[in-house]
Structures are given as C-alpha cells and as structure tokens.
Amino acid sequence: MSPRVVDPAARRQAVAEAVFRVVVRDGVEQASLRNVAVEAGLAIGSIRHYFDSHDDMIIFAVEALIHSIDERVMAHVRTLGDRTGDLRRPGERVLSEVLPLDERRRDEAVLWLAFATAARTRPSLRPHAERLYDGLRQLCHRALTVMSENGTVGAVDVQLEAERLASLLNGLTVDGVLHPDRMTPELTVSLLRKHLDSLR
C-alpha cells in the first residue's frame, strides 16, 4: 500500500481552523501546540512538522483569518460602484461584513479581539494586529470615497470620517462580542445605518 499523500497547504489550513476553534472556545492562552493537535485530531509531531514554533502557528492562523475576511469583503467592495437601487445599501453591506451579525462573523470578531489583545504583550503578533487595524480604516476610507463620489454621503472630510467610522465599527464589534444580548445584530445594523444616514 502506497503512503497517503498529505497536502501541506490543506494540513496547515486545518491546523489554523483548529487554532480558531480553541481560541473562540478557550482563548489564545489555551491555543498550545498540544491543545491544537488534540483539536485537529493530529499528533503533536504533525503540528511541529508544519510549524517551527507555537508563535509560527499562531501567526499563520492570524494571517489565515485576515485572508478569509479580505476575500469576503473584497467580493462586496466590487458592488460599491453599483448605481442601481438604493445607493446606500452597498456601503452598508460592505461595512456589515466586519460586524458580528451571525455565527461566522461573530467567531471572526472573537478571534480579532483575542488576537489584538494578545498582541499587546506578544511582539510577534503586533505587525499582524496592525494589519487588521489598518485594513479596517482602509475599508472605511474606500467605502466613504465611493459613497461620496456617487452622492450617497455629502461633502465630508473622508480621512477624518473614515477614522470615525472605523472607531464606530470597532465599538460595535467589541460590544457585540462582550454583550451580545444587548448589542444585538438588529441594533448593530440600525446604529451603522443611522451613522451612514447622518453623513448624507
């Protein structure tokens, strides 16, 4: 019998998803090589075969999270220039992709918050946390630029409003993760919509 061929990229992705499950359930501090190996159903030696260290594994998982969110958000960004229907809604849809409005996005928000908090005391994570921070502001800037061009928002200081919008989205995300019974998806969307309407 020939040995089973393992796809390294698929195995690394499976490990990243195991890291996600452990972090969402138990926090970053519990995402040890051993715990992740158990979660992934692998021997710890298999984890070490693909990742040189614990930090290497966590960094790969953060990058996989960033890539996943980017891919989904960019698919919606392409609708920003659509001039049919209610012009406000494409911007709202794009920005809603980073809010904890369903199970998938809530898990991503939990991961973002966990990794960003861990980066405060773990220098190896800081550049990746900065990418998440900058990426949100770039998304807000792009959305507001297009909305300004199509008349969805009025004459605003896009740079300043992008910072304000990013701060609102951060606050809604944190509240949605920590107080989901109070900051419900319905209230979250209502607050985002109210803010965008105020810029008209």
Taking the C-alpha atoms of residue 62 and residue 124, their distance in angstroms, rounded to an integer, is 11
What would the pLDDT profile of 102-116 be if each residue is shown by its tens digit? 999 999 999 999 999
* pLDDT at position 7: 84
Q: Which two tokens stand for residue 181?
A: 């019974």
Q: What is the pLDDT of residues 153-175, one digit of tens each?
A: 888 899 999 999 999 999 999 99
Query: What angle do helix axes 103-119 and 54-77 make, rounded to 10 degrees?
Result: 130
Side chain identity at residue 39, one-letter code: E
Alpha-carbon span 40 to 12, nearest angstrom: 10
Mean residue pLDDT of the chain comes to: 90
Range 126-145 burial, b when 16+ CB lie within 10 A, else e: eebbeebeebbbebbbbbbe
